[in-house]
Amino acid sequence: MQTTIDARDLGGASAAKPKREGPSTNRLPIVHCPVCNERAYSRSSEEITPQQRRLYYRCGNFACSMAWTASLIVEKVISPSGISPDFRPLVLKERKPPGHEYGQAPPLPPLLTYLDNLGSRPA
């Protein structure tokens, strides 16, 4: 006959991990609204360069609801990477006007074609 030991038998809460002191490694820093000082939430972000990100914030106060952007940049390397001393290269992506990603809007005609069609219209 096999016996199992339950964590509650070992002292319950005393068997839990102790809380870590210092900054948490898996949370963003808390940002407050510059107007009403309520907590703000990061809604999304986009990479500008390998060393810079643009963060989009919204105030948690429904009455305020201010939205703004902030920049997160690499200022100084404290401990270099064990892989390479260089940052990864910048990759430029082709950007389309809004509505063109999913085919909602027809493609824009080239400007020269448009100007040529203007000149060939009957008077």
Q: Which residues pair with 32 in a beta bridge?
A: 39
pLDDT given at position 26 = 56
Count other C-beta atoms under 10 Å from residue 33's C-beta: 19
Query: Where do the domains of the chain lie?
Result: 28-74
Instruction: Quote the pLDDT of residue 107.
Output: 61
For 54-71, give one letter per residue: b (16+ CB within 10 A) or e: ebebbbeeeeeeeeeeee
Q: What is the mean pLDDT of each run of 10 residues along the chain (123 residues)?
A: 52 54 63 94 88 92 94 88 82 67 62 62 57
The CA-atom distances, in angstroms, between 90 and each of 20, 27, 86, 87, 95 are 37, 26, 12, 9, 15
pLDDT at 39: 94
- pLDDT for 60: 94
Cα 45 to Cα 72: distance, rounded to the nearest angstrom? 10
**pLDDT number for residue 18:** 57
- Structure confidence at residue 80 (pLDDT): 84
